[in-house]
Structure 1
Amino acid sequence: MGTTSDERTTRRRGAELEAAIADAVLGIVREGGARAVTMEAVAARAGTSKPVLYRRWPDRGALLRHVLLAEATRAIPTADTGSFRGDLLAVLRGWAALLTGPRAPVVAAVVAAMVEDPQFAAAFRDGVIGWRKAEMAALIRRGIDRGEVRPDVPVEIARELGQSVLWHRFLVTGDPITDDVVRQVVDEVVVPFAAVRAG
Structure 2
Amino acid sequence: MSRRRGEELESAIRSAVLRLLAERGPGGVTMESVAAEARTSKPVLYRRWPDRTSLLRDSLLGVATAAIPHDDTGSYREDMLAVLRGWAALFTGPHAAVIRAAAAAAVNDAELTATFRDDVIGWRKQEMAALLHRGIARGDVRADVPVDIARELGQSVLWHRLLITGDEITDELIVALVDDVLVPFVAPRPDRYYEL
TM-score strictly above 0.5:
yes
* DSSP-derived class of the 1:198 partner: coil
CA distance in 2, matches of 1:125, 1:77: 19
Equivalence for 2:153: 161
- Superposed, 1:1-199 pairs within 5 Å as 11-199=3-191
Question: Identity of aligned pairs, percent?
Answer: 65
CA distance in 1, matches of 2:185, 2:167: 24
Deviation at 1:170, TM superposition (A): 1.1
Superimposed CA distance per residue, residues 78-110 of structure 1 (whole angstroms, 9 cap, x where no aligned partner): 011110000000000000011111110001110
CA distance in 2, matches of 1:180, 1:136: 22
Superimposed CA distance per residue, residues 110-135 of structure 1 (whole angstroms, 9 cap, x where no aligned partner): 01121110222012211111100000
Tell me if the contact between 2:56 and 2:115 (Cα under 8 Å) persists in the aligned partners.
no
Tell me if the contact between 1:35 and 1:113 (Cα under 8 Å) persists in the aligned partners.
no
The aligned length equals 191
TM-score when scaled to structure 2?
0.95
Superimposed CA distance per residue, residues 24-83 of structure 1 (whole angstroms, 9 cap, x where no aligned partner): 111111111122100000000111000010111111011000111011000100011110
TM-score when scaled to structure 1?
0.93
What amino acid maps onto 1:38 in structure 2? T
Runs of 4+ that moved beyond 2 A: none
Task: Name the Cα RMSD after superposition.
Answer: 1.0
CA distance in 2, matches of 1:160, 1:176: 19
CA distance in 2, matches of 1:21, 1:119: 20
* DSSP-derived class of the 2:107 partner: helix
What amino acid maps onto 1:73 in structure 2? T
CA distance in 2, matches of 1:25, 1:197: 47
* Structure 2 portions without partners, runs of 5+: 192-196
Tell me if the contact between 2:139 and 2:188 (Cα under 8 Å) persists in the aligned partners.
yes
* DSSP-derived class of the 2:152 partner: helix
